């Protein structure tokens, strides 16, 4: 019974709580609606006030803007009116000037018409005078023919011969005067041009000399490189196409061969083999292959670098590679790669001093000794070999001719040829640039002495200053001052014809006079 009453009371309490919460929520909703209505009413009144205020501000702004635009419009209207008046004034001035110009043109036109009519009248007069002159000339000629008779043709031929002879005489005299003037000034002008060109050429000569041997550190290194019964050396000789010569006193290996690139390949390969732990047939083949690859790359790089330094473009790849191969070619101990570079610069400078094409001067100068990279494998002089090679690879005809003629294998026929010859001689004659071998030096001395003694007037010949001067001694009773001058010229000319040398050779004639008396 107690449980039932408790349950009933719980239910009644639950419903009372639910009813009370409903009443409270309803009351809260009613108050919220009232408050919302009040807020809406207040917002409505505020928005009306704000709208009224903004409308008033807009009207004020509109009024101010209208006043401002009206002022600006008045200002621009005044400026436009002023500009319009100026334009009208300028237009009026131009109209007046145009009228003046038009009147001047009309006056000049009238003057031209008058002068033209006068000129036409003068032309008619001149025409009549010419006709009258021709008729009189014809009558005079007829009268002269009648007076002279059949001798007229003889007189005409004699006059023609006299005029021709007189003209030839004047031409010969003029040519002789020009030749004398040229001889008098040419040497001085040439010296000035060479002096300016050499002063502009500030590059030092290349002291590099070819080293074609490899030093062996000790006996162990020698045995390693030589192999059993020098098998390694024989293999290197076969692969590189050179001869290897062992110098026992210096403990070094010399590389001998005609091809400079092969000599460098063998030398560089030997240098690499010195650092190898084991030297055998396989390692030798690998080293030679790597060295050859590096060498070819360097040859191409050197050739490209040289042509870029001279700013020469459109050069065939074969010519570039052949120029790079000159890096290992020497003549009189002068490196030909640097020699060609020097000649290119010098020939360009000489061309600029003579107002010739600098580009062609540099190109012909740098290519002049290219044949020396091939003269070990092709018969003939290096000038002809190089000219044929560059001709096959697209060089211009005048460049080819300059290269072919720089040692007179063909007769030079252009100024460019002589500039290449001069630049080549300048590069070879620079102090320290070349070193003759002992055999070549003795051969040169003997040839100069033989040339001096070949003249019957010469008593003795002395070679001075390492071949830079030839001093010949003559008998003063047989050779006077004039004959001594003539003899010096003949000796110098024979040296020029028979000898090849850089620079200049001075010829001096010494007259020997002996006074002998006996004291008794």
> H-helix or E-strand containing 466?
none
Domain chopping of the chain, boundaries: 213-429, 438-512
Strand 243-247 relative to strand 252-256, pairing: antiparallel
The full DSSP string for 358-369 is HHHHHHHHHHTT
Candidates 288, 284, 167, 266; CA nearest to 225 is: 284
Give residue 432's pLDDT band: very low, low, confident or very high (50, 70, 90).
low
Judged on CB neighbours under 10 Å (0-12, 13-18, 19+), 298 is middle
Distances in whole angstroms, Cα of residue 299 to Cα of each of 147, 310, 319, 340, 390: 90, 17, 11, 15, 18
On whether the CB atoms of residues 263 and 244 are closer than 8 A, the answer is no
Assigned fold of 213-429: Hypothetical protein af1432 (1.10.3210)
Residue 106 CA neighbour count, 13 Å, CB half? 6
Q: What is the mean pLDDT of residues 298-312?
A: 92
Dihedral, CA of residue 366, residue 368, residue 372 and residue 378, to nearest 10:
130
> Which sign, positive or negative, has the C-alpha torsion 317, 319, 321, 327?
negative
Question: Tokens at residue 377, please?
Answer: 């494998």
The full DSSP string for 200-259 is H--PPP-------EEE--SHHHHHHHH-GGGHHHHHHHHHHT-EEEEETTTTEEEEE-S-
User: Do 213-429 and 438-512 show the same overall fold?
Assistant: no
Candidates 211, 327, 325; CA nearest to 271 is: 211
Q: What is the mean pLDDT of residues 180-186?
A: 75
Q: What is the mean pLDDT of residues 266-283?
A: 85
Give residue 202's pLDDT band: very low, low, confident or very high (50, 70, 90).
low
Question: Tokens at residue 226, please?
Answer: 């030589």
pLDDT at 345 over 70: yes
Other CB atoms within a 10 A radius of the CB of residue 208 amount to 13
Among 3-7, 109-113, 400-404, 479-483, which is the least confidently predicted range? 3-7
Pairwise CA distance, residues 151 & 454, whole Å? 63
Question: Tokens at residue 449, please?
Answer: 């002495």
Pairwise CA distance, residues 446 & 460, whole Å? 13
Pairwise CA distance, residues 377 & 520, whole Å? 75
pLDDT at 100 over 80: no
* Candidate ranges 40-49, 90-99, 109-118, 240-249; pick with highest mean pLDDT: 240-249
Helices 281-309, 317-325: crossing angle, 10 deg rounding:
110
Distances in whole angstroms, Cα of residue 386 to Cα of each of 155, 169, 219, 401: 62, 47, 45, 11
pLDDT at 317 over 70: yes
The pTM of the full predicted model, rounded to 2 decimals, is 0.54
Report residue 50 CA to chain centroid gap.
85
Q: Between vectors from CA 266 to CA 262 and to CA 268, what angle results, nearest 5°?
A: 115
Q: Between vectors from CA 366 to CA 360 and to CA 367, what angle results, nearest 5°?
A: 90
Residue 298: what pLDDT?
Answer: 93
Question: Tokens at residue 84, please?
Answer: 């319009």
pLDDT at 192 over 90: no
Pairwise CA distance, residues 282 & 288, whole Å? 10
Report residue 255 CA to chain centroid gap.
37
Give residue 148's pLDDT band: very low, low, confident or very high (50, 70, 90).
low
Question: Tokens at residue 221, please?
Answer: 């290194």
Which CATH code, of 3.30.70.1350, 3.40.50.300, 2.60.220.10, 3.30.160.60, is assigned to 438-512? 3.30.70.1350
Residue 26: what pLDDT?
Answer: 77
Tens digits of residue pLDDT in 29-59: 877 778 777 777 777 777 777 777 777 887 8
Q: Between vectors from CA 372 to CA 369 and to CA 373, what angle results, nearest 5°?
A: 115
Report residue 152 CA to chain centroid gap.
67
Tens digits of residue pLDDT in 235-271: 888 888 888 888 888 888 888 888 888 888 888 888 8
Pairwise CA distance, residues 431 & 435, whole Å? 10
Tens digits of residue pLDDT in 464-476: 877 788 998 888 7
Residue 503: what pLDDT?
Answer: 62
pLDDT at 385 over 90: yes
Strand 506-512 relative to strand 469-475, pairing: parallel
Other CB atoms within a 10 A radius of the CB of residue 163 amount to 10
Other CB atoms within a 10 A radius of the CB of residue 1 amount to 5
Residue 173: what pLDDT?
Answer: 78
Residue 150: what pLDDT?
Answer: 56
On whether the CB atoms of residues 449 and 497 are closer than 8 A, the answer is no
Average pLDDT, the chain: 81
Phi, psi of 233 (to 5 degrees): -65, -40
Residue with tokens 């917002």: 43
Taking only Cα atoms into account, the Rg of the chain, rounded to an integer number of angstroms, comes to 54
Give residue 340's pLDDT band: very low, low, confident or very high (50, 70, 90).
very high
């Amino acid at each position: 019974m107690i449980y039932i009453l408790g349950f009933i009371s719980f239910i009644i309490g639950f419903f009372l709580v639910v009813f009370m919460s409903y009443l409270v929520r309803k009351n809260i909703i009613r108050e919220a609606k009232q408050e919302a209505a009040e807020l809406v009413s207040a917002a409505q009144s505020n928005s009306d006030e704000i709208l009224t205020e903004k409308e008033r501000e807009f009207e004020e702004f509109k009024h101010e803007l209208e006043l401002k635009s009206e002022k600006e419009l008045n200002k621009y209207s005044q400026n436009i009116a002023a500009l319009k008046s100026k334009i009208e004034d300028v237009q009026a001035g131009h109209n007046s000037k145009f009228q003046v110009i038009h009147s001047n043109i009309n006056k000049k036109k009238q003057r031209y018409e008058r002068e033209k009519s006068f000129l036409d009248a003068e032309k008619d007069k001149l025409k009549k005078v010419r006709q009258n002159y021709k008729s009189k000339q014809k009558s005079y000629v007829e009268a002269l023919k009648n007076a002279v008779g059949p001798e007229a043709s003889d007189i005409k031929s004699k006059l023609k011969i006299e005029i021709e002879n007189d003209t030839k005489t004047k031409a010969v005299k003029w040519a002789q005067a020009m030749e004398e003037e040229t001889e008098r000034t040419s040497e001085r002008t040439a010296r000035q041009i060479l002096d300016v060109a050499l002063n502009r050429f500030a590059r030092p000569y290349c002291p590099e000399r070819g080293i074609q041997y490899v030093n062996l550190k000790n006996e162990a290194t020698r045995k390693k490189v030589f192999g059993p019964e020098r098998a390694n050396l024989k293999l290197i000789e076969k692969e590189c196409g050179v001869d290897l010569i062992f110098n026992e006193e210096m403990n070094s290996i010399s590389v001998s061969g005609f091809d400079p690139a092969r000599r460098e390949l063998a030398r560089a390969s030997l240098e690499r083999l010195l650092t190898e732990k084991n030297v055998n047939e396989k390692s030798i083949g690998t080293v030679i292959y790597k060295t050859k690859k590096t060498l070819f790359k360097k040859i191409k790089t050197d050739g490209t670098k040289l042509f870029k330094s001279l700013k020469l473009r459109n050069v065939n790849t074969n010519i570039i590679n052949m120029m790079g191969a000159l890096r290992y070619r020497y003549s009189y101990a002068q490196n030909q790669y640097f020699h060609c570079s020097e000649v290119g610069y010098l020939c360009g400078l000489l061309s600029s001093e003579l107002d010739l094409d600098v580009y062609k001067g540099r190109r012909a100068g740098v290519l002049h000794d290219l044949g020396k990279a091939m003269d070990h494998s092709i018969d003939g002089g290096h000038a002809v070999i190089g000219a044929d090679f560059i001709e096959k690879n697209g060089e211009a005809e005048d460049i080819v001719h300059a290269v072919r003629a720089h040692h007179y294998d063909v007769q030079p026929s252009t100024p460019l040829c002589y500039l290449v010859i001069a630049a080549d001689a300048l590069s070879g004659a620079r102090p320290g640039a070349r070193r003759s071998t002992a055999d070549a030096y003795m051969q040169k001395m003997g040839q100069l002495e033989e040339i001096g003694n070949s003249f019957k007037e010469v008593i003795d010949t002395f070679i001075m200053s390492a071949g830079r001067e030839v001093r010949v001694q003559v008998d003063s009773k047989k050779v006077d001052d004039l004959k001594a001058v003539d003899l010096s010229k003949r000796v110098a000319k024979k040296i020029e014809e028979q000898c090849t040398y850089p620079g200049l050779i001075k010829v001096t004639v010494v007259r020997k006079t002996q006074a002998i008396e006996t004291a008794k």
